[in-house]
A and B are shown apart, each in its own frame.
Chain A
Amino acid sequence: MTRAALPLLGRLWLALILVFLYAPILVMAAMSFNASPFYQLPFEASTVWYEKMSANPQILAAALRSVLIALATTLIATTLGTMASIALFRYDFPGKRVLQVLLFPPIAIPWLITGTAMLIFFFAVGIGRGTPAVIIGHVALALPYVIVTVTARLSSFDITLEEAARSMGAGAWTVLRRVTLPWIAPGVVAGALFAFAVSFDQFVVSYFLSEPGDSTLPVLIYTAIRKGFTPEINAISTLIITLSMTVMVLAARYSRLGGDR
Chain B
Amino acid sequence: MSGVEVQNITKRFGRALALDDVTVSFPDGGFFGLLGPSGSGKTTLLRTIAGFHYPEAGRIRIGDRPVEQVPVEQRDIGMMFQNYALFPNMSVADNVGFGLRVRRVPAAEERRRIAETLDLVQLGGLADRRPAQLSGGQRQRVALARAIVTNPKVLLLDEPLSALDKSLRVDMQIELKRIQRDIGITTIFVTHDQEEALTLSDRIGILRAGRIVQVGPPREVYDRPVDAFAAGFLGEANWIPDSCLAGLDLPASPQGHRFAVRPEALAIGTAPDLARNALRGRLVQRVFAGAMATCLIEVEGSPWKLVARDRDIPDLPGAGEVWLSWAARDTIAVPA
> Which residues in A have some Cβ–Cβ distance to B below 8 Å?
158, 160-161, 163-171, 174, 178-179, 182-183
Contacts and interface: CB of A to CB of B under 8 A. Distances in A.
Contact of A166 (B73, B89, B146, B150): B73
A167 B98 contact: no
B231 interface: no
Interface stretch (B77-85, B118-126, B176-184, B241-249): B77-85
Interface in B26-74: 50, 52, 71-74
Contacts, number: 57
Interface of B: 50, 52, 71-74, 76-79, 81, 83, 85-89, 98-99, 102-103, 146-147, 150, 156
Chain A CB within 10 Å, residue with most, of B73, B78, B83, B86: B73
A170 B71 CA distance: 11
A158 B99 CA distance: 19
Which of A160, A168, A170, A178 has the most B CB atoms < 10 Å from its CB?
A168
A161 B85 contact: yes
Nearest to B72: A166
A170 B150 CA distance: 12
A183 B85 CA distance: 13
Contacts of A174: 102
B85 A163 contact: yes
A93 to B, nearest CB: 14
User: Which 6 interchain pairs have the tightest Cβ spacing?
Assistant: A168-B99, A164-B85, A167-B79, A160-B85, A166-B72, A169-B102
Contacts of A168: 73, 78, 98-99, 102, 146-147, 150
B70 to A, nearest CB: 12
Contacts of B146: 164, 168
Given A167-B77, A168-B146, A169-B150, A160 B99 contact: no
Nearest to A163: B52
A169 B85 contact: no
A168 B103 CA distance: 9
Nearest to A179: B87
- Interface of A: prevailing SS: helix
A170 B100 CA distance: 10
Given A174-B102, A182-B89, A183-B89, A167 B83 contact: no
Nearest to A183: B89
21 contacts: A158-B83, A160-B81, A160-B83, A163-B79, A164-B146, A166-B72, A166-B73, A167-B73, A167-B77, A167-B147, A167-B156, A168-B98, A168-B102, A169-B74, A169-B150, A170-B98, A170-B99, A170-B102, A171-B73, A179-B87, A182-B89
Contacts of A160: 81, 83, 85
A169 B87 contact: no
Nearest to A172: B73
A183 B47 CA distance: 24
Contacts of B81: 160, 163-164
A169 B103 contact: yes
A165 B89 contact: no
A179 B94 CA distance: 12
A251 to B, nearest CB: 21
Contacts of A165: 87, 98
Given A163-B52, A182-B89, A183-B89, A170 B73 contact: yes
